[in-house]
């Protein structure tokens, strides 16, 4: 993986864990670590406004410890998948953190499902679109 | 199907309409300006989107020396990857994360590039509805905004952009199913008119059209402006309007290279878009006298239902916004196509974990269609630390309209054979087997609506009365002599339809006014009007 620019390795690891929980990949879908989801999340944060970037990074750190506060007995990354899902469901009902979790979940879904292999697995082929476009541009005076 | 200039996008690229290759690309990258650069022109146009590009082109062709200042970059079609996840951070302001503060929070994506938001929009074209123009005349004293008076400007815009109806081969299966359902219910609908040429239905208009088929203003108006001598400065952010309260003599901009661009000019046209223009005006002490600057923000909130079918419909094949249903237009509701590749769908597909995964695994069988509501609520925008801070609360009546729109859309999808319909209203369970009962019985509050908005308008509204409007009927900032606005902020009320060609027609009209020229003559008449 190329070096991350916006997030620290610990935040990357929490994001991967969140991604795993909200995507719950099973064959034919690849595991999160086999995709470029974390790198894409990092790239999104690089282009985001500073305040959003700070809020999302802080949100990841808060998410990691929130299960302790909710009585789940361990941090997010140390919970079993089932307990992790239960902790996130509880956080969804917790007014102060719910909007942040919603934003992080949307970014996790976008980051994971934008991976080329995942897109192909679902029947979508962006490379074919780009190749056809290049051919058309070669034939006609398109921009 | 229509004929003549509004024929389908099948024309070759040599017929003179739409896409245009100038002899020279007159782009100066702000990244290369580290010190101070001074240029002198007749007109400085700030922003190169739906408003800025047409005004710049018309002024340049009218003989003025024009500089276009654009904060974003120039992008080649060849650099577009057809992958929403990767294009959003490159083409959208704030990576597409700009959102309202209010109930519910609503994301408002904006383009930031040469072409502005037209680079990433869906290409749908509607003229300003006649009843909206009637309201502008009655409520805002915009007496000459009649359909007949605006007709020449619309004709010009439609020719420049090759506005044409989506042909039968391109709408995609999702839209054809909606057409089938709407017809079964006797609801009026049709293929949309779009600014496209040589479209092959690759389904990623909102993430940079890789085929160069979408005729956004960055590949139509801007190159024609270059051919007439205008220069585009990219990566420059206009900050100061230097002069006195009546007359601006110079625009200064911060460049991406850390330098300063100073543009000395006779006319300033601000076209930064409805969320950024008020900040620029206010920072420079202009346009505030009426107390309306940054107010009256309408956003045309939009949401989309998803419908699962038994057979694959590959919703990403075809034009994503190709069909509309206007049977509810009288209630301020319009249904328009909205689909995209799986990563775009994943963001808005409800659920988490296994529930979300199963929905995504059914992506090939899942269609989606949008509900847009002509809003009654109004928001505000102000500049906080150089960024727009947007306050907006969805009105209860508008939440009720979303519910009504989704009820009709669910019936359309049932009539088309859908097995399940999911509406993005919190607390409403997925609808199954033709039963819309849970939706009908639900009481929907604004906080339950999951919406986005693509059409911010009205924050520097036009009107004859300087006590009630920011710009006058000629789009001149009240109280100034040479500062005009040509973007979505001048549109004085919600339109109920997509706004891009309204903005372009008003911008064209402004240019003709500044040139002292009559309305364009000799533009071909369309055989049909959207
Ligand atoms: C995803 C999406 C789909 C859409 N689909 C449609 C559609 O199908 N049909 C339709 O009619 N409308 C559509 N719209 C809306 C339409 O594109 C906009 O209403 C229209 O482009 C607004 O025009 P504008 O001139 O007000 O602003 P913009 O087109 O946004 O242009 C403003 C430009 O000014 C630049 N700028 C801002 N501040 C500065 C500064 N200080 N200095 C220099 N440059 C600056 C910005 O970077 C930007 O490029 C869509 C919008 C989105 C986001
Ligand atoms: S459908 Fe594809 S080819 Fe057509 S305008 Fe959109 S992105 Fe371009």
Tens digit of pLDDT for each residue in A3-53?
899 999 999 999 999 999 999 999 999 999 999 999 999 999 999 999 999
Q: What is the mean pLDDT of chain A?
A: 95
Backbone angles phi, psi at B232, to 5 degrees: -100, 125
Question: B298 in helix, strand or coil?
Answer: strand
Q: With contact defined as beta carbons under 8 Å apart, do B225 and B242 qualify?
A: no
Residues of B in contact with A114 (CB under 8 A): 83-86, 343, 346
Q: Write down the pLDDT at residue B528.
A: 73
Distance from the CA of B277 to the center of ligand 1, in angstroms?
12
- pLDDT-derived band at B16, boundaries 50, 70, 90: very low
- Neighboring chain A residues of B363 at a CB cutoff of 8 Å: 122-124
Q: Per-residue confidence at A140, pLDDT binned at 50, 70, 90?
A: confident
DSSP string, B372-383: EE-----BEEEE
User: DSSP class of residue B6?
Assistant: G
Closest CA to B206 of B330, B343, B74: B343
Q: Do B364 and A85 touch (CB under 8 A)?
A: no
DSSP string, A58-86: HHHHHHHHHHHHTT-SS-GGGS-HHHHHH
Quote ipTM for the complex.
Answer: 0.96
Grade residue B426 by pLDDT with cuts at 50, 70 and 90. Answer: very high
Partners of B37 in the β-ladder: B261
Q: What is the predicted pLDDT for the residue at A139? A: 85
- β-partners of residue B28 are B233
Look at B84 and A43 and tell me if their CB atoms are within 8 Å: no
Q: What pLDDT does residue A121 have?
A: 97
Whole-model pTM: value is 0.96
Per-residue confidence (pLDDT) for residue A141, from 0 to 100: 80
Residues B356-370: pLDDT tens digits? 999 999 999 999 999
Q: What mean pLDDT is predicted for residues B397-402? A: 98
Specify burial of residue B23 (Cβ count, 10 A radius: 0-12, 13-18, 19+). exposed
- Subunit contact A123:B314, Cβ cutoff 8 A: yes
Which atom of ligand 1 approaches the CA of B237 most closely? 42
B300 tagged catalytic: no
The confidence band for B530, taking pLDDT boundaries of 50, 70 and 90, is: low
Beta bridge partners of B370: B304, B336
B412-425 pLDDT tens trace? 999 999 999 999 99
Task: Output the DSSP codes for B52-96.
Answer: HHHHHHHHHHTT--EEEEESSB---GGG--S-HHHHHHHHBGGGG
What pLDDT was estimated at residue B245? 87
Domains and CATH numbers, chain B: 28-75+84-92+110-162+197-293+459-520 (3.50.50.60), 163-196+301-373+395-450 (3.30.410)
Rounded Cα gap, residues B461 and B246, in angstroms: 19
pLDDT band at A2 (very low <50, low <70, confident <90, very high): low
Q: ∠ at Cα B72 (B61, B343), nearest 5°?
A: 120
């Amino acid at each position: 993986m190329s070096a991350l620019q916006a997030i620290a390795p610990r935040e990357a690891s929490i994001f991967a864990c969140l991604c795993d929980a909200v995507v719950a990949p099973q064959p034919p879908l690849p595991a999160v670590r086999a995709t470029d989801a974390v790198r894409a999340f990092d790239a999104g944060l690089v282009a985001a406004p500073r305040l959003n970037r700070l809020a999302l990074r802080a949100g990841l750190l808060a998410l990691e410890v929130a299960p302790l506060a909710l009585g789940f007995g361990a941090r997010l990354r140390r919970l079993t998948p089932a307990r992790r899902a239960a902790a996130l469901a509880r956080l969804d009902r917790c007014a102060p953190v719910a909007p942040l979790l919603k934003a992080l979940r949307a970014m996790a879904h976008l980051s994971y499902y934008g991976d080329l292999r995942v897109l192909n697995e679902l029947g979508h082929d962006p490379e074919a679109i780009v190749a056809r476009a290049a051919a058309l541009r070669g034939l006609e005076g398109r921009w | 199907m229509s004929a003549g200039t509004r024929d389908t996008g099948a024309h070759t690229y040599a017929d003179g309409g739409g896409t245009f290759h100038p002899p020279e690309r007159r782009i100066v990258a702000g990244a290369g300006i580290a010190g101070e650069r001074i240029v002198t022109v007749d007109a400085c146009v700030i922003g190169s989107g739906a408003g800025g590009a047409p005004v710049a082109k018309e002024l340049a062709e009218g003989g003025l020396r024009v500089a276009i200042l654009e904060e974003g970059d120039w992008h080649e079609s060849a650099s577009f990857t057809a992958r929403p996840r990767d294009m959003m951070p490159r083409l959208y302001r704030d990576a597409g994360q700009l959102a309202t503060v209010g109930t519910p929070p609503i994301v408002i994506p904006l383009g930031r590039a040469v072409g502005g938001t037209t680079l990433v929009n869906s290409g749908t074209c509607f003229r300003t509805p006649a009843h909206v123009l009637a309201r502008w005349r009655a409520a805002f004293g915009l007496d000459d905004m009649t359909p007949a008076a605006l007709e020449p400007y619309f004709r010009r815009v439609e020719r420049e952009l090759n506005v044409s109806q989506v042909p039968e081969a391109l709408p995609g299966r999702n839209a054809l199913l909606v057409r089938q359902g709407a017809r079964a219910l006797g609801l009026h609908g049709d293929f949309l008119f779009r600014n496209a040429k040589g479209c092959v239905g690759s389904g990623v208009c909102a993430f940079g059209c890789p085929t160069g088929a979408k005729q956004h203003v960055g590949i139509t108006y801007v190159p024609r402006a270059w051919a007439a001598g205008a220069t585009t400065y990219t990566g420059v952010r206009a900050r100061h309007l230097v002069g006195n309260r009546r007359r601006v003599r110079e625009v200064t901009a911060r460049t991406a290279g850390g330098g300063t661009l100073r543009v000395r000019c006779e006319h300033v046209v601000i076209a930064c878009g409805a969320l950024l223009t008020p900040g620029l005006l206010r920072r420079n002490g202009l346009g505030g006298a009426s107390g309306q600057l940054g107010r009256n923000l309408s956003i045309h909130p939009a949401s989309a239902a998803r419908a699962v079918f038994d057979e694959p419909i590959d919703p990403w094949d075809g034009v994503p916004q190709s069909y509309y249903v206007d049977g509810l237009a009288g209630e301020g509701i319009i249904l328009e196509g909205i689909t995209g590749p799986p990563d775009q769908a994943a963001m808005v597909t409800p659920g988490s974990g296994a529930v979300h995964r199963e929905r995504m695994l059914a992506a090939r069988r899942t269609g989606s269609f949008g509900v847009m509501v002509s809003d009654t609520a109004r928001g505000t925008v102000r500049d906080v630390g150089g960024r727009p801070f947007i306050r907006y609360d969805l009105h209860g009546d508008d939440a009720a309209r979303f519910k009504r729109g989704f009820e009709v859309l669910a019936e359309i999808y049932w009539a088309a054979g859908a097995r399940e319909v999911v509406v993005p209203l919190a607390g409403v369970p997925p609808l199954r087997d033709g039963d819309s009962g849970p939706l009908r019985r639900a009481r929907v509050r604004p906080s339950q609506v999951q919406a986005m908005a693509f059409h911010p308008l009205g924050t520097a509204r036009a009107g004859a009365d300087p006590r009630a409007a920011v710009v006058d009927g000629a789009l001149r900032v009240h109280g100034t002599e040479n500062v005009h606005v040509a973007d979505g902020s001048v549109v004085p009320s919600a339109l109920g339809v997509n706004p891009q060609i309204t903005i372009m027609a008003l911008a064209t009209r402004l240019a003709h006014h500044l040139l002292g020229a009559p309305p364009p003559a000799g533009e071909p008449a369309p055989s049909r009007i959207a």
